Structure 1
């Protein structure tokens, strides 16, 4: 009544040996370098050269190559850039903690503090 299946099931997985696999640490390195790159873009746009150099050094360490940098200061809203920088630094801090990268975690926490202070300062200036 039933005919046996003669072909391979479409539900079986392909041979995993042919696909590249990354470890958790490698995935976290990629994610951390991405967050740092985004933070670097904001930092460069704000023309915070010393902080940008520290961030670029960490990207170079993680990727093995220096990051692409933006030339010149942007004309964007400084407050919006500091808010974005604060958010990106927070994300960077979370991934650095998961990766147990103390150097990047300290750097990210410092950037969060700097962006928060800049935002607090701009609110005080606007209040007067």
Structure 2
């Protein structure tokens, strides 16, 4: 009923079939994802004015990025402290999941500590 296609597809690439295509490993992808979550956590942590915690997070981000230090947050969103702690708690939770997935003990411990700290801070702001 149908005649088979006898010509090459117009959708094929111009590159040779044996040309190496750059691929990232699962570990590299998890490193990128973890560094992203920690960078977002760093921005919120800096906005809260927690410099010691921010420095610890920055060290982990730099380690994951091959020694490149992260850009530190310079602007303020104007959000209240409770909202910032809630956001930081969620970001630390995401970082903890990725750190556990890639078996990164240092990042997992840091993320768990930040989750605890932000949960306690949320409880304090809710009580006041």
TM-score (norm 1): 0.86
Correspondence 1:34-113 to 2 at 5 A = 34-64=36-66, 65-71=68-74, 75-113=78-116
Q: Does 1:24 align with 2:26?
A: yes
Residue by residue over 1:66-120, the C-alpha shift from the partner in whole angstroms, topping out at 9 and shown as x without a partner, is 0001236653211110000000000000000001000000000000000000000
Q: Which residue of 1 aligns with 2:7?
A: 7
Q: Is the 8 A contact 2:37 2:95 kept in 1?
A: yes
Task: Note the aligned Cα RMSD (angstroms).
Answer: 2.4
TM-fit CA distance, 1:124? 1.2
Indicate conservation of the 8 Å contact 2:82/2:126, yes or no. Answer: no
> Which structure has more helix as a fraction of its residues?
1
Q: Which runs of 5+ in 1 are unaligned?
A: none
Contact (CA 8 Å) 1:47, 1:73: kept in 2 or not? no
